[in-house]
């Protein structure tokens, strides 16, 4: 299964922001156990840096981004992808770019907590929705006493 992570989910993980951060970190477990591949868009790196640089030292944040390259698959966008996103006419252009990247990467789901994310060709799941779906298949994940699913 291929999971495309929306930028907000990765920000939650890196920024370790409350309950959202906890469940975002747990999203790494399906890849560790070969239940899923995690993919992010190359453009998410600039968005992540821009948002988190207010809270995390630039050098430390860049090291975190560098470490991500060894774990996540990264989907690059080109001029045709930007055209495709623009032609969708979505109000939120960043969401359109994520949707195009998810399609390009062959993702089965986009994992997002953005309630206003327009659904494209790739179905949307919240992080908890993903774990609920896996639980229905008899798969649960636990880390440091936190169980999801």
Query: Dihedrals φ, ψ of 16, to 5°?
Result: 50, 55
Residue 53 has a pLDDT of: 93
CATH code of the domain occupying 2-75+107-114+124-148: 3.40.50
Reference 30, options 54, 47, 61, 9; nearest CA is: 9
Domain assignments of the chain as residue spans, ordered by start = 2-75+107-114+124-148
As a whole number of angstroms, the distance between CA 24 and CA 112 comes to 10
Q: 105 pLDDT band (50/70/90 cuts)?
A: very high
- The dihedral through the CA atoms of 99, 102, 106, 112 has a sign that is negative
pTM: 0.92
Sign of CA dihedral 78, 80, 86, 92: negative
**pLDDT tens readout for residues 62-100:** 999 999 998 999 999 999 999 999 999 999 999 999 999
What does the pLDDT read at residue 21?
79
Q: What is the mean pLDDT of residues 4-8?
A: 96
| pLDDT > 90 in the chain, percent | 79
The pLDDT of residue 120 is 87
């Amino acid at each position: 299964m291929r999971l495309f992570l929306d930028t907000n989910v990765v920000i939650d993980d890196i920024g370790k922001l409350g309950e959202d951060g906890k469940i975002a970190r747990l999203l790494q477990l399906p890849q560790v156990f070969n239940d899923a591949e995690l993919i992010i868009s190359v453009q998410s790196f600039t968005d992540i840096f821009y948002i988190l640089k207010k809270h995390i030292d630039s050098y430390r944040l860049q090291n975190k981004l560098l470490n991500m390259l060894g774990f996540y698959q990264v989907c690059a966008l080109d001029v045709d992808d930007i055209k495709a996103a623009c032609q969708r006419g979505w109000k939120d252009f960043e969401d359109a770019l994520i949707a195009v990247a998810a399609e390009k990467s062959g993702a089965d789901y986009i994992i997002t907590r953005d309630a206003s994310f327009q659904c494209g060709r790739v179905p949307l799941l919240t992080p908890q929705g993903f774990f609920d779906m896996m639980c229905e298949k008899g798969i649960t994940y636990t880390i440091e006493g936190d169980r999801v699913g």
